[in-house]
Structure formats: structure tokens, C-alpha cells
Amino acid sequence: MITVHTIAALKEQLAIFRSTTQSIGFVPTMGYLHEGHESLLKKARNENDVVVLSIFVNPSQFGPNEDLDRYPRDLERDLAIAKKSQVDIVFAPSIEEMYPTKMKIHFLAEEQSKVLCGASRPGHFEGVLMVVTKLFHLVSPTRAYFGMKDAQQLAIIETLVRDYNFPLEIIRGETIREEDGLAKSSRNVFLCEKEREEAPALFQALVLAKEHFQKHRSVIDAIQKATEHVTKNTNAKIDYLQLLEYPSLAEVTEDSQEMIVAGAIYFENARLIDNQIFNVKGE
Amino acid sequence: MITVHTIAALKEQLAIFRSTTQSIGFVPTMGYLHEGHESLLKKARNENDVVVLSIFVNPSQFGPNEDLDRYPRDLERDLAIAKKSQVDIVFAPSIEEMYPTKMKIHFLAEEQSKVLCGASRPGHFEGVLMVVTKLFHLVSPTRAYFGMKDAQQLAIIETLVRDYNFPLEIIRGETIREEDGLAKSSRNVFLCEKEREEAPALFQALVLAKEHFQKHRSVIDAIQKATEHVTKNTNAKIDYLQLLEYPSLAEVTEDSQEMIVAGAIYFENARLIDNQIFNVKGE
């Protein structure tokens, strides 16, 4: 495994691999790797000749009052996990390497970025599109892997790739959970003991909403169920609980087939998100 | 030479060439080719193993009251010129092929798109960024060629490529002119005889402004000179005549090194643009 910190070194390493290999699997992350990332790396390892992992806490996707400064970082630990996952190249650039000058051209994502996390984090997905586009151009992967825990991010990146004809395939990775259902997240480390005990209520609430909707087809009632469950079982503040069409993230209509029920809740030092994606007919 | 109209056919052809060649030169155009395009094709031919020409009148870069419908088109004539220029692949897609669904993600270009043509054509450069990004991803060129007549477009595309780490090089092509100085343009065909006689006054005015600025260092006086020249020698309506820093397109300061004096004028059925890019010290 080779770890590089500059674009020049990344290109040099990729050129060596490119001369002899067919496919590059790419897993872009903000580091502080957990089993969710590991499962993406495993998928990438199985499906490609070369696996590239990027570790970059991207400032352009954090709002001014968000947790950029205290986002957890531990490169040494990440490199050990990467090695264990048989990664070939780790790209861990500095902010200056990724943004040497002020960006003069930005993305504007429409409907898909106005709901769910986009409503509470204005500019977040535009920042994601910015860094993902840069990384795609730097790595030129055959396949890029994104976890379904960040379902809105996944939907928007799928739109980006389709709208702009990126020559690569987006692969969805299942959400990986703790035994009690809590979705694995780098931010779980910010939960105190009591919050950690309450946290699975988000997952439970989303499952309740999904099942209620599949049975009764009422968005309002399903969300009501989920809200009650979170309120009763946690001291967290609800950011949103919403049931939408997926991946368009439009309002549910009679014609909607694929759905998402997604939620975000604030604990003292961590904002957690989770979702259930399901077909109206059953799973 | 192979002409393809679909993305699938383009990819198939490129794959054949890619297996045996090193470099791809790409000349994106809106067709109705003139000597300006030919000089770009010649440059591309000299510098690359494969030359790809795209012909696509891109609707997303035309405003609602602009000349999209009557933009000149002549594929047969273009293909003859392409053949003469030893193009390998012509990509001439339909609108449906390039935009099968409504685009949900857009570009937003800042300062650079607010001046000159950007001021009179809101959304124009965002549309250019959209189609150029799509074409870059479809062709994956080693080098892409753009004429300096569209100096603002060139500056913005250079920013795009740098900001977003596109793995390609932008090559600038000199503006090609008629014997009397008029810049070659697909839109020159819309000039009536009298307008065609007056049209070189734009070029002359820009040269006057450049020379005046190099001597006296006054932006206001230089633009005054150009304005007088156009007003005296044509019946055209001036859209803008401006002297800015290049390629930032910011206001000129004492530190500015590279400059552009650019102009756009309206004749009855054609809006013509032209520019002079020069160094403050001399040429």
C-alpha cells in the first residue's frame, strides 16, 4: 500500500498501475473509517484491479457553524484499516493541495438538494459535488463506491454522474449497523453513554414509518409514528423526518415506486442521520 | 473519417482508437466551420494521434431571445471540411442525445461570467460549462482546443479545468481574420453587404484601444477611442467595449500584466464579438 499526499504523487502512482491494469475502484471518504467504509473497500477490492481510498475532510461541504474543526481525524488508524482492506493507494491531501486557489466556479443542485439534509445544511451538497468532481477527475475510477447511509448524497452524485456523463459507475453500498441497529458513523464517537443508548431509536422510528407506510400508504401518519417514537425514546432534537420518492427526492405521489424515509436528529454534540429505502410493494 | 451521432457509437469508436493510441485532440464546435475552426483542427492534428471534432449547437448556452433557431447549420459542408482537416471522428449528436432528461445540476460561474458577454447573455457561460463538461467526459481528450476570439469562454473554461482538475490540457488557438481584419465567425453570414463593409471597424477600434492604453495607461480614454471609432464607422449598436485584466476578467489595476480589450456590437441580424489580448509592456 502506498500513501500519497499530493496530486503529483497520486498521478505518478496511478500511471504505474494504469499501464498494467484494467479497472480502478475508488472509495472517497472523510476518514475516521468504520465498518461502513470497510464494507465499501471490500466491495471495491472484489470488483477492481486497483483500489484507491481518499481521506479528505472537505471544508467546502461544511457550513460556517458546523463541526469541521472537531470532525474526528486519525490518519494512523485509518491507514491500518486501509492496509487490512488491501487498499493499493491512499490519497490523503491537504486542504491547500485540493484548494490551492479560491474556487471561481460552483455547482448548483436543484430540487434534490433542497430537502432533507440540504434544507438544514445549505450549500452542503454543492460542496460535496465540488470535491467529488475534483476527486473523480484526479482518480479517473472505473467504479466509485458510496454508502446508502448518505442516501441523499448518493442520489445527488448519481444525478451528477448521469447529467454530466462521467465515464464511471456509481456503486451503492449497504448501510452497516451496530448490533442494536444504530447506523455506523464517524460522528457516533461524539455520543455520550446515555445518548448512545437512545440513538438506535432513530433507526427504529424509520423502520416503523416504512412498515406503516407500506401498510396504510399515508405519508403523514407514517411520519407521525416515527416522530412519536423518537420523542418518546430520546432527548434528541429532531431536525427532520421525511418520506419522499427515491432517488428523485420529490414528494410522494400515487405513481411513486421507490421511497425513502429519512431522518436527522441532534444530540448534544452529534447530528445523526439514517434512512430506509424501500419499494412501495414490499422491500 | 467516421461520423457518429450517438454517445454509444462515439464510445465504441474511441475504444478502438484508445487501444492503440496515446493522445486524443478534441475540437468542440457548434458547426458551420470556418477557417478559425480549421486552424484549431490543424493544431489538433499536429499534436495528437487522434482528432475528434464535435458539432453541436448547444441550446443550454442560448438565451430565450437569442439566435438558437436560426444559428447557421450545414452538416454536409462541415463534414467535407472535417475530412479535409484529417479528422478521425466527428461527433454530431442530437439535442435528445445530449440532454435526454432535464438537467438537475447546474454550474454557477462567478466574477468571470458577470462581465463582457456574460453581462448581456445571462446564463450563457453556465450553458457553455455544462456542455463542455459533458463533452470532456464523453471524449476524455488529452488536449482540447478553443479559439481566442471567444476569449471570455476560453478564460472560464481554463478556470473550470484548473478548479476541477480535469485531466486534460486546454490549448489556445489564435483568432483567424479576414483580410480586412474582421474576425472569422459563423455569424458573419448574417451580415448584409453594407454591414460586412463596416464590420472590420470593431477590430480596428480594439487595436486603437490597445495601442492607446499601452501608451497612456488610461482605461477610460482607450475605451473612449474605441467607442468613437465604432460610432463613426458603423451603424451598429455597441453592446460593450471594455478593457479588463486577462484571464481573471477583473478590473485593471496597477499590478495587471495581461489585458484584454473586448467588444460586442449588434448589427441588424448578427451580434459580433472580437478582442485583443496583450501584455501591458508591449505585445
Report if residue A237 sits inside a domain: yes
The answer to whether position B283 is within a domain reads no
Instruction: For residues B262 and B272, give the distance between their C-alpha atoms in angstroms, rounded to a whole number.
Output: 11
A125 & A64 share domain: yes
Residues B191 and B166 both lie in one domain: no
Q: Does residue A203 sit within a domain?
A: yes
Task: Measure in Å the smallest separation between the Cα of A26 and chain B Cα atoms.
Answer: 16
Q: Are strands A2-4 and A271-279 parallel, antiparallel or unpaired?
A: unpaired
Residues B117 and B214 grouped into a single domain? no
**Quick one: pLDDT at residue B283?**
57
Rounded to whole angstroms, what are the CA distances from B9 to A169, B3, B16, B95, B216? 19, 9, 11, 16, 56
Question: Are residues A163 and B137, on separate chains, in Cβ contact within 8 Å?
Answer: no
| Amino acid A19: pLDDT | 81
B114 touching A (Cβ < 8 Å):
no
Query: Cell numbers of A257, please?
Result: 415506486
Q: What angle do CA B212, B214, B216 make, to 5 degrees?
A: 60
Q: What is the spatial distance between Cα B232 and Cα B243, in angstroms, rounded to a whole number?
A: 20
Chain A residue closest in CA terms to B109? A105
Q: How far apart are CA A210 and CA A204, in angstroms?
A: 10
Does the beta carbon of B110 lie under 8 angstroms from any beta carbon of chain A?
yes
> Residue A163 and residue B101: Cβ atoms within 8 Å?
yes
Instruction: Name chain A contacts of B110, Cβ cutoff 8 Å.
Output: 104-106
Q: What share of chain B is helix, strand, coil (3-state, %, to 5)?
A: 45, 20, 35
Q: From the CA of B248, how many Å to the nearest CA of chain A? A: 10
| CB contacts, 8 Å: B166 with chain A | 137
* A168 and A218 together in one domain: no
Q: Tell me the backbone φ, ψ of residue B140, rounded to 5 degrees.
A: 45, 60
Q: Is B193 on the interface with A (CB under 8 A)?
A: no
Q: Which chain B residues contact residue A103 at CB under 8 A?
A: 163
For the purposes of burial, counting CB atoms within 10 Å of the CB of A8, is it exposed (0-12), middle (13-18) or buried (19 or more)?
exposed
The number of domains in chain B is 2
- Contact list, A105 vs chain B (CB under 8 Å): 107-110, 129, 156, 159-160, 163-164
Q: Could you tell me if residue A183 is inside a domain?
A: no
pLDDT at position A282 is 67
User: Are A167 and B133 within 8 A, CB to CB?
Assistant: no
- The whole-number pLDDT of residue B282 equals 67
- Encoded amino acid at B61, one letter: Q
| Interchain CB distance below 8 Å, B163 and A103 | yes
> Domain holding A44: CATH number?
3.40.50.620
* Domain edge (last residue) among A140, A173, A206: A173
A132 to chain B, any CB pair closer than 8 A? The answer is no
Q: Binding site for ATP: which residues of A?
A: 30-37, 147-150, 176, 184-187
Q: Same domain for B210 and B70?
A: no
Domain with A268, as residue range(s), is 190-279
Q: Which residues of A are annotated as a binding site for beta-alanine?
A: 61
B207 phi/psi in degrees, rounded to 5: -65, -40
- Give the integer Cα–Cα distance in Å for B193 and B267: 12
Q: Could you list the active site residues of A? A: 37
Backbone angles phi, psi at A234, to 5 degrees: -140, 165
B28 located within any domain: yes
Given a contact cutoff of 8 angstroms between Cβ atoms, the answer to whether B182 and B190 are in contact is: no
The more confident residue out of B44 and A16 is: B44
Q: Is residue A184 part of a domain?
A: no
Q: What is the pLDDT of residue B67?
A: 87
Q: Mark whether B79 and B203 lie in a shared domain.
A: no
Cell of A169: 459507475
Chain B nearest-CA distance from A217, in A, is 28
Q: Is residue A30 located within the same domain as residue A101?
A: yes
Annotated catalytic, B37? yes
Query: Which candidate, B138, B113, B115, places its Cα nearest to that of B126?
Result: B113
Considering the domain architecture, whether residues A150 and A222 belong to the same structural domain is answered as: no
- Best B105, B111, B112 member to test A by mutation, with max A CBs in 10 Å, is B105
Task: Give domain status of residue B113, yes or no.
Answer: yes
Of B122, B143, B173, which residue is a domain's last? B173
Question: Residues of A with CB below 8 A from B138's CB?
Answer: 165, 167
Q: Which of A173, A200, A231 is the last residue before a domain boundary?
A: A173
Instruction: Assign residue B246 the CATH number of its domain.
Output: 3.30.1300.10
| pLDDT above 80 for B87 | yes
**Is A106 an 8 Å CB contact of chain B?**
yes
Residues B198-212 pLDDT 10s: 999 999 999 999 999
Contact status, residue B29 vs residue B5, Cβ threshold 8 Å = no
Residues of chain A predicted below pLDDT 70: 282-283
Classify residue B99: in a domain, yes or no: yes
- Give the span between the Cα atoms of A145 and B272, in whole angstroms: 47
Question: Does residue B88 share a domain with residue B18?
Answer: yes
Asked whether residue A124 falls in the same domain as residue A239, the answer is no
Binding-site residue numbers of B for (R)-pantoate are 61, 153
Residue A51, C-alpha cell as written in the block: 483500489
Same domain, A10 and A150: yes
Is the CB of A108 less than 8 angstroms away from the CB of B111?
Answer: no
d(C-alpha A52, C-alpha A50), whole Å? 7
Residues of A in contact with B54 (CB under 8 A): none
- Chosen for mutation from A24, A110, A163 (greatest number of chain B CBs closer than 10 Å) is A163
pLDDT, position B280: 84
CA atoms within 13 A on the CB side of A158: 18
Torsion angles phi and psi, residue B239, rounded to 5: -85, -55
Check CB contact of A65 with chain B, cutoff 8 Å. no
Identity of residue B35: E
Question: Residue A257 gets which letter from DSSP?
Answer: -
- In chain B, at which residue ranges do the beta strands (DSSP E only) sit? 2-4, 24-29, 50-55, 89-91, 105-109, 143-147, 169-173, 237-245, 258-266, 271-279
Residue A110: predicted pLDDT: 85
**Residues A134 and A14 grouped into a single domain:** yes
Q: What is the pLDDT of residues B218-261, one digit of tens each?
A: 999 999 999 999 999 999 999 999 999 999 999 999 999 999 99
Residue B82 in contact with partner chain A when CB distance is under 8 A: no
